[in-house]
Structures are given as C-alpha cells and as structure tokens.
Structure 1
C-alpha cells in the first residue's frame, strides 16, 4: 500500500506525541508492504517518516527543490538528513523564485502516488498557496482516500470514499 502525508510543520497547540500515536495506529493497520511518500518537512512529515521506518515500511522522499536543505535548521535539519539517508529519493525540478509553488507540486506528487493520504490538519484554510488545505482539497477532488488527524481537536476522521472501504480503512466517523 502506498501512503502519503500532508500536514502542519509548526503550529501552536500541537502535541506531537499524540499525532505520532495516531499515525502509528494508521500505519500498523495498513496492508503490507507499505511505501510512504513524504517531503520530510519538519513536523507532520518527519513524524510520519519516523513512524514508517519504525514499523518496517519503505520510504520515498519527494524533494521539491534542489536547495531544499536551506529550509531546515537545527534538529529539523539533522532529522531530515537522517531520514533522507534511509529513503529512496525523487528530486522534483524547482520553480525559479517560487518556492511555495514547488512545495505545492511536491504535495500533489505525494497525493498522486498514494492510495491513501494522511493529513495532519487543523481543518482550517491554508495560510498561503499550497498549504495542507490545498492538498486536502486536491485529494477530495480526485477522490483519494484521506485520514484527517486534527491535532488541535485531537480527532481523527476519514473520507467516505468507496476506495477507502475497499482498502479496509475506516469510514468517516
């Protein structure tokens, strides 16, 4: 099963331990083998990638732009490098001067290559172009099954698509 991630990087009110426990529950319930798609951004992407690796899944890193490391620092950069070394890599061509568009294209790449997308999302509109809400909207439009982990309300729901039921995933709660 191919599973992707979209989600918050930094946001007040997120308890990342709770998010990790919810991602672990999803990952352990997926049919094997599991291949995860992520851009390895700080926050949801790195939590997801760590969960996948801890559960023996394969990881594919979708790198949005050639100088992607410049967007990381400190522990986020260290974890990015560590996870990247354990992943297959897909390097996307960057957009000259439009990083947000490149990040959005990476989110779409993840969604298009996934049988299921996990969205760590507060269910609010995106603050800029290509945010989590935009990727979720794309998944809904394309009827890509979604599991939404709302880290603020600490709730989990899934899109009620036939494909989700066929994959043994839970119906919308």
Structure 2
C-alpha cells in the first residue's frame, strides 16, 4: 500500500485547476495497483484537487482535520466540496485543537507526514507565508526524510502574489 499526503496552495487560478488535475492524475496513476491511500486536510485548492484525484483513481481517502471547527471559514462552494469529500473519506482524523490556526495546521501536517510514504506538494517553490503552510510542510518533510514530489505544471499560477 502507498500512502501519499498532500500539501499545496489554496489560491490557484481557475486556469491552473485543470493543469494541476491532469498532473495529479498522472502522478497517482502508477500507485493505483499498490492500494493507494491519499491523506488530505481537504482544504480548498490543492488539497481538494488531490482528494478528488485519489477518489477518481479508486484510492482510499483519509481526511486529517486540524480542528473540529476547521471548515467554519469556508465559502459556500468550498464548504460543499469539503462536505462531499469528508463524506467520501474512509477515515477522518480530527485533531483536538479548539480552533484552526498555525499550531493546529502544523499538527495536522505532522499527522499527514507520520502516515505518508510520499508527500505531493502543489507548490510554486516560493518562500512560505508562515508556519503550517506549503513551504513549511515541504521543509519539514525533507528534514524527516519523506520523499517530496513537487507538482507545478507549466502555466500554473496563484491568484495572489507570493510574499
């Protein structure tokens, strides 16, 4: 069985979504025969695209939620995606933090990495915006010896400029 975790940007442009979907489909295809397990926090953007790709590949989805109040900040379309994917998950791990925030996000990332054989990072390679973000997770994974596969197709962009 191959357990693959995801980290990635929340703010992908509309034009980037099909590029990342195709890249994730191609990346996950060889793992289908290994009993694919996808690990995701089900955040908007990269996490949602990854979870959808895992399910489309016939894989098992594990949702790791930073807190029970995690989805409260989502917009209505994001909440619908979150609820659909949470319902499709074979397992949900909800961490015992009262509110989502940097400490809870870092703890969720640690849980993802603890379970992962590989980390997929939908990442532009730019410096991060703080603890618990994509760049932070990539750095932690590399220090821990978890292999990282960066997905950033040609033409991909973020809706907000990196800092």
**Counterpart position of 2:43:** 41
**Counterpart position of 2:17:** 16
SS, match of residue 7 in structure 2: strand
**Counterpart position of 2:80:** 78
Q: Larger % of helix: which?
A: 2
Q: How many residues align?
A: 153
Measure, in 1, the Cα distance between the counterparts of 2:15 and 2:96: 32
Measure, in 2, the Cα distance between the counterparts of 1:117 and 1:85: 23
Answer whether contact 2:103 2:132 (CA < 8 A) is retained.
Answer: yes
Q: Runs (4+) of structure 1 moved beyond 6 Å?
A: none
Query: Does the C-alpha gap of structure 1 residues 13 and 152 become closer, same or farther in structure 2, counting only changes over 3 Å?
Result: farther
Q: 1:89 aligns with which of 83, 89, 92?
A: 92
Of structures 1 and 2, the one with the larger relative CO (CA 8 A, separation 6+) is: 2
Q: Deviations over 1:61-96 (max 9, x none)?
A: 0010111120211211101000000111001111x5
The alpha-carbon deviation at position 13 of structure 1 amounts to 8.0
Query: Does the C-alpha gap of structure 1 residues 79 and 12 become closer, same or farther in structure 2, counting only changes over 3 Å?
Result: closer
TM-score, structure 2 normalization: 0.87
SS, match of residue 93 in structure 1: strand
Query: Structure 2: any 5+ residue segments left out of the alignment?
Result: 157-163
Answer whether contact 2:67 2:99 (CA < 8 A) is retained.
Answer: no
SS, match of residue 88 in structure 2: coil
SS, match of residue 147 in structure 1: strand
Query: Does the C-alpha gap of structure 1 residues 133 and 74 become closer, same or farther in structure 2, counting only changes over 3 Å?
Result: same
TM-score, structure 1 normalization: 0.82
Match runs of 1:128-139 below 5 Å: 128-139=130-141
**Counterpart position of 1:164:** none
Query: Structure 1: any 5+ residue segments left out of the alignment?
Result: 155-173
**Counterpart position of 1:121:** 123
SS, match of residue 124 in structure 1: coil
Answer whether contact 2:12 2:45 (CA < 8 A) is retained.
Answer: no
SS, match of residue 6 in structure 2: strand
The alpha-carbon deviation at position 111 of structure 1 amounts to 1.5
SS, match of residue 125 in structure 1: coil
User: Alignment RMSD, CA only?
Assistant: 1.7
